[in-house]
Copies of this chain bind each other. A is one copy, B any other.
Amino acid sequence: MLECEPGDWVEIETEDGKYTGILMERPELAGDKHMVIKLESGYNIGIKKDKIKKIRKISTRIREEFKLKKHERDPSKKDISILATGGTIASRVDYITGGVHSAFSAEELISAVPELGEIANVQGRQIFNKFSENVAPTDWVTIAEAVYEEIKKKASGVVITHGTDTMGYTSAAVAFMLQTSVPVVLTGAQRSSDRGSSDAATNLIHSAIVASCGNFSEVVVVMHAESSDSYSFIHPATKVKKLHSSRRDAFKTVNTKPLGRVFREGVEFMQEVKKDKELTLDTKLDEQVFLLKYFPGLKPSVIDSLVDGGYHGIVLEGTGLGHTAEGLFEGIREAINSDVVVAMTSQTIFGRVNMNVYSTGRILLDTGVIPCEDMLSETAYVKLMWVLGHTRKPDKVREMMLTNYAREVSERSIFTHKNSRKNQ
């Protein structure tokens, strides 16, 4: 048994019969009690070791193929860096428990998707290994710094692989922190790479195409555009939200159009993109910010306890055009008087806050609440952390929150329907 390694083609004889397939890496949670092989049908099965009578190695062919290939640098191709941070794109299923574990290194990712070598000279680096629900604001800084380093080292583009759960928060953070001179692409996978329906390879290939396309300089998210494999969308980093828990086309651009589409054949832009030459990094963040979703019955004391808790800013995810119950007004006023910034977004996701329409909104505006236009709540939260990292002067905070740094605010109205109001 010891002579067999993952990737070997083996025959396993048990009390119940013989199984032939590829010996898989031992999944972490499986412990020492099982072996897992991928059958010719494509299915993986776990076999209890104490039922195994005999194992025979048929060939090492697959193992050899799986070994990391070293490519010669092709001077006709762009040099791009892949920075791995964990998540489903870098994970495999535990066939005993059915769970998914974050595992692949950047090098393994590159090796697993040989098409990348056709697109660019690819270098990989693992900067950390976390599911994205565990990614914290300090990790955003780590990522932005790593991207900055890669660009300083002359990468023509950078791809960051990231869990999908909080990718929209991270992409917004990197977009605020980094003024980039090359394409910076965040990507992930909704289904792990050992599933037939995995989007890992397609997203990685499309991301590499965007990162090496050479003619723009923005932070973007590249993910599956539809349920087939035909193309991906290039989403603006600050206007993208994961809007489905499991579908491969979960990521949507909200309140504007995607920046473009990417096919195997190349990139097709749908909006004008930036082509800056300047590279700057500004990672200052104030973590004392709370994202508070309003709900009927929310007790006014919650605002007080955030103020008492030392928070410097609150993003209120209000209702409709940017409202909360009037019972909160007094607490909001006191928060603002205590130099706590209060900014308003909408839990409708789509559309723009407009606090001039109803008396509720006007009172909140008079109180000093900052209306976050059509920013996503998640983006407004990240932005307020970044802004408060630079200043706590109320006027300056307001000015910065209302300045469009990274596409987080769309121009008013992309509607043209005859029935729609102006200033939608």
B-binding residues in A (CB < 8 A): 29, 97-101, 131-137, 140, 164-166, 169-170, 191, 195, 197, 227-228, 242-248, 250, 287, 289, 291-298, 301, 305, 309, 317-327, 346, 348-354, 356-360, 362, 378, 381, 385, 417, 419-421, 424
Known: A98-B357, A246-B352, A348-B242. A293 touches B320 (CB 8 A): no
Known: A242-B320, A325-B134, A351-B247. A420 touches B297 (CB 8 A): no
Q: Are A320 and B133 in contact (CB under 8 A)?
A: yes
Which one of B191, B298, B320, B349 contacts A164 once the chains associate, using CB atoms below 8 Å? B320
Instruction: Please give the distance in Å from A90's CB to the nearest CB on chain B.
Output: 13
Q: Are B287 and A291 in contact (CB under 8 A)?
A: no
Given contacts A131-B360, A246-B351, 11 further A-B contacts (CB under 8 A): A99-B356, A131-B323, A134-B327, A136-B297, A165-B320, A197-B420, A242-B320, A244-B348, A245-B346, A245-B354, A247-B424
Residues of B within 8 A of A246 (CB): 321, 351-352, 354, 421, 424
Residues of B within 8 A of A421 (CB): 191, 195, 197, 246
Q: Compute how far the CA of A358 lies from the CA of B131 in the bound complex, rounded to whole angstroms.
A: 9
Q: Compute how far the CA of A248 lies from the CA of B243 in the bound complex, rounded to whole angstroms.
A: 21
Q: Are A419 and B131 in contact (CB under 8 A)?
A: no
Instruction: Please give the distance in Å from A106's CB to the nearest CB on chain B.
Output: 21
Residues of B within 8 A of A357 (CB): 98-100
Q: Are A197 and B165 in contact (CB under 8 A)?
A: no
Residues of B within 8 A of A362 (CB): 97, 99
Q: Compute how far the CA of A287 lies from the CA of B296 in the bound complex, rounded to whole angstroms.
A: 10
This protein's copies in its complex: 2
Q: Are B417 and A227 in contact (CB under 8 A)?
A: yes
Residues of B within 8 A of A101 (CB): 359
Q: Are A319 and B165 in contact (CB under 8 A)?
A: yes
Q: Are A245 and B358 in contact (CB under 8 A)?
A: no
Residues of B within 8 A of A351 (CB): 244-247, 250
Q: Compute how far the CA of A228 lies from the CA of B419 in the bound complex, rounded to whole angstroms.
A: 7
Instruction: Please give the distance in Å from A8's CB to the nearest CB on chain B.
Output: 28
Known: A243-B349, A245-B351, A351-B245. A419 touches B197 (CB 8 A): yes
- Counting chain B CB atoms within 10 Å of each CB, the highest count among A248, A350, A378 belongs to A350
- A251 to chain B: closest residue by CB: B348
Known: A323-B165, A353-B245. A99 touches B359 (CB 8 A): yes
- Counting chain B CB atoms within 10 Å of each CB, the highest count among A248, A292, A305, A358 belongs to A358
Q: Compute how far the CA of A321 lies from the CA of B191 in the bound complex, rounded to whole angstroms.
A: 12
Instruction: Please give the distance in Å from A199's CB to the nearest CB on chain B.
Output: 9
Q: Compute how far the CA of A250 lies from the CA of B296 in the bound complex, rounded to whole angstroms.
A: 19
- A195 to chain B: closest residue by CB: B421
Q: Compute how far the CA of A164 lies from the CA of B332 in the bound complex, rounded to whole angstroms.
A: 23
Residues of B within 8 A of A319 (CB): 132-133, 165-166, 242
Instruction: Please give the distance in Å from A121's CB to the nearest CB on chain B.
Output: 32
Known: A98-B357, A353-B245, A419-B248. A297 touches B348 (CB 8 A): no
Q: Are B227 and A419 in contact (CB under 8 A)?
A: yes
Instruction: Please give the distance in Å from A175's CB to the nearest CB on chain B.
Output: 15
Q: Are A378 and B227 in contact (CB under 8 A)?
A: no
- Counting chain B CB atoms within 10 Å of each CB, the highest count among A100, A298, A348, A352 belongs to A348
